[in-house]
Amino acid sequence: MPSFTALQEALHALAGMSLPQHSPRPQRPIRVLVADAWLAAVVLAWSPALTRHGSAQAYAHSQFLVAGFEVLAEDVIRMDDAPFEAPRLAVAYPRALLSCLREWAHRVDGRLASVHPLSVAAWLLMQRPGRSGMPSGPGTSGTGAQALAVIEGNRVTIAHSLVRNWRGVSWISGLSQRQAHADGVTARTLADTWQRLCLREPGLPSVAHVALLDLSDGNAGPGELGAPFTPISPQVQVHAALMGSLETRAGAHALCFQGVPLPCTRWQWIVLATLVMACAVLAVQLIRGFSSASALQARIAQTERARQPAATGKTWSREEAARVQAVNRAIRELNLPIDALLDALVPPQDIRVAVLSMETMGRTTNAPSQTVGIKILAQACSGADMARYVAFVAGRKPFGGAYLMRHEILDPGENCPYRFTVEARS
């Protein structure tokens, strides 16, 4: 069982012999692989609470309690980046463990960059085909397997994923731990653990290959294994590849605990300075562009003002203004399209109306000065024909409307006794 006292003693002894007194590279980044026995992991069923950080943390904390894990409020909970509405894996990092690792990193003049579960790091390594002696195959990962079993002493951790995310890379959709016999993990106990897990997960019986990573001390192993387990060897290359995977992938994984941010290197500072200079140049160009646009608009406005004729300042007397209005009215009357107006006044055959006379009208108090109309005197055989003719004139071009001004009945005994006056405006 994990013992924080033993961990502190081991780290204290390691700090005294791992690094020299004068390190040539102080504040080096330290990435830690943690056995799954130190951590708590649960699979979270999809819930709308996972869409917000605060509610997701509370939901994960409640699920840890339901699963029987004692997770404190100050412990750190990390969740993977599974797709929307998919189950998510949550891992809890105890505060005491992180405190021990931070203190040890400070004692050896380093920075705690990341803390990663061993099974998750091995799962990341399994996604890289042709690396660290792992066999490659046609499956969803570099090993051709959709599940991974990690043996650490007398503990077995099984990670599995039956779905791919939108990038085509498998994530861990389940993590199961089982305490085996005190003598270690045997082929029998490993097979029993897999069978029990298959009973809980409907899709696991279809998995044909399970990669087996044995990280036990010494040469003791589970022995002769049957399907579906495929051991990964040699173990020395696997250990080196696990540490190499942390350098490239584990530090950015969602389940990884990120420690103190690492200081920027010289090349990173150069790239950052280049980006800042590029942004400054773009900002200067934008400011110059806005200034040029403002100056161009001012010149255009000045040109428009220069083109406008200057006001003469002359005032008209009342007689002169009336004379000018009369001249303008006469000009508008002369410009009337007489032929088009006459054609527009001819009624269709089904409207029994005769046009008697037509005269033009100038400006009235009810009409704008720029409109000119005509007055039509007509005679109809019935009131319905009179109304239909007014509507007919109102819809004809170039008139904009027609109004019945007055009407009278000459003699009821005549064939067409209705005489009326219509005003139409163009």
pLDDT digits (tens, 9 = 90+) for 380-395: 988 899 999 999 988 8
If you average pLDDT over residues 361-386, what whole number do you get?
72
If you average pLDDT over residues 244-254, what whole number do you get?
53
Best-predicted range by mean pLDDT among 40-44, 130-134, 184-188? 40-44
Burial of 420 (0-12, 13-18, 19+ CB in 10 A): buried
Mind giving me the DSSP string for 137-177? Answer: -SSSSTTS-SEEEEEETTEEEEEE---B-TTS-B---EEEE
Model pLDDT, residue 269: 84
Of 3.30.230.10, 3.30.70.2830, 3.90.180.10, 3.90.550.10, the CATH number of 328-425 is: 3.30.70.2830
Strand partners of residue 152: 155
Model pLDDT, residue 95: 87
Q: Please state, for a pLDDT cut of 70, what percent of the chain lies above it.
A: 71
Q: Given a cut of 50, is residue 139 above it in pLDDT?
A: no
- Cα(39)–Cα(42) distance, integer angstroms: 10
Kindly report, residue by residue over 281-299, the tens digit of the pLDDT: 999 999 999 888 988 888 8
Q: Given a cut of 50, is residue 142 above it in pLDDT?
A: no
Model pLDDT, residue 281: 92
> Quick check: 272 and 53 in contact, CB under 8 A?
no
Q: Identify which has the larger pLDDT, 414 or 167.
A: 414
Which of the four pLDDT bands, split at 50, 70 and 90, describes residue 135?
very low
- Cα(387)–Cα(384) distance, integer angstroms: 5
Model pLDDT, residue 174: 56
Lowest mean pLDDT among 80-89, 192-201, 237-246, 409-418: 237-246
- Cα(225)–Cα(131) distance, integer angstroms: 23
Q: Identify which has the larger pLDDT, 145 or 358.
A: 358
Model pLDDT, residue 165: 43
Q: Please state, for a pLDDT cut of 90, what percent of the chain lies above it.
A: 6
Model pLDDT, residue 362: 60
Continuous segment of H or E residues that includes residue 121? helix 118-126
Q: Given a cut of 70, is residue 261 above it in pLDDT?
A: no
Q: Given a cut of 60, is residue 314 above it in pLDDT?
A: yes
Q: Given a cut of 60, is residue 45 above it in pLDDT?
A: yes
What is the location of CATH 3.30.70.2830 in the chain?
328-425
Model pLDDT, residue 339: 75
Best-predicted range by mean pLDDT among 153-162, 258-267, 360-369? 153-162
Report the candidate in 127, 139, 121, 42 with the shortest Cα–Cα distance to residue 87. 42
- Cα(44)–Cα(255) distance, integer angstroms: 14
Model pLDDT, residue 136: 43
**Burial track 31-48 (b if 16+ CB lie within 10 A, e otherwise):** bbbbbbebbbbbbbeeee
Kindly report, residue by residue over 75-107, the tens digit of the pLDDT: 889 888 777 888 888 888 988 888 888 888 888
Model pLDDT, residue 278: 92
Model pLDDT, residue 132: 41
**What value does the mean pLDDT of the chain take?**
75
Model pLDDT, residue 396: 83
Which of the four pLDDT bands, split at 50, 70 and 90, describes residue 225?
confident
